A = this chain, B = another copy of it.
Amino acid sequence: MIDFDAVFAAYEALHAIKHTFGTRGWFPGTSGNVSMRLSSDPPTMMISTSGKDKTVRTASDFLIVRDGMPIGTTHTPSAETAIHEAIYACTDSNAVAHIHTAATTMVSLYDAPHGCTTFAAYEMIKALGIWDPHACVRLPITPNDADVREIAHRLPSVIDDRVPGILLRGHGLYAWGKTIDACKRHVEALESLCTYRLMELRLGGNSLTDPVV
């Protein structure tokens, strides 16, 4: 039997985060997607429908995918559903969001040669659940690929268990959390940290190598 209480709760929570991030312009050009895990066995999630304008609310903005197949819908799930599935399979997260901001996109390009971007000395690191004041957080950057399954296949070996997010090169940020609130907190914290990092690049400083910063 379907747990409609859980379905409607996820539906409202996903609309809320879509609205908040959409209003900020974090889903330009119908980009980006958000999902919540409904069950692990069989793997089931609610995820955004493909190609919808995320600044508008409709009754077909989200659909349910079970075992990789959309169920009870004539709509098509986000093209990046396989990435959400891979994140749920290799983490204990229950919510995933993907945004395309200028800061996350540019950092994903400019720090790609290092395989990660690194944050240090920022209080905002605590919002990731990392409390060590001397923490040097490495957010992995993995190459983009036209074949989403290729990215999904690679994720388990690239994700760092201590860091609830990853950058795809030239593509933006994925972040996740045990709850939709934790997911939202991690997205906002990593977006802020990438904004700081972009400013470091403009100012010629680097928190890793420049002891003054």
Contacts and interface: CB of A to CB of B under 8 A. Distances in A.
Nearest to A128: B29
Interface in A86-110: 100, 102, 105-106, 109-110
**A interface, by DSSP: helix, strand, loop or mixed?**
helix
Nearest to A184: B53
A55 B21 CA distance: 11
Interface in A119-159: 121-124, 127, 131-133, 144-146
Tallying the copies of this chain within the complex gives 4
Interface of A: 20, 24-25, 28-31, 53, 55, 100, 102, 105-106, 109-110, 112-113, 121-124, 127, 131-133, 144-146, 168-172, 181, 184-186, 188-189, 191-192, 195-196, 198-199, 201-203, 205, 212-213
Given A55-B20, A144-B123, A201-B203, A28 B109 contact: no
B169 A110 contact: no
Given A29-B127, A105-B192, 14 more contacts: A20-B55, A28-B124, A29-B185, A29-B186, A30-B185, A31-B124, A31-B189, A102-B192, A106-B203, A109-B213, A121-B144, A123-B170, A123-B172, A201-B203
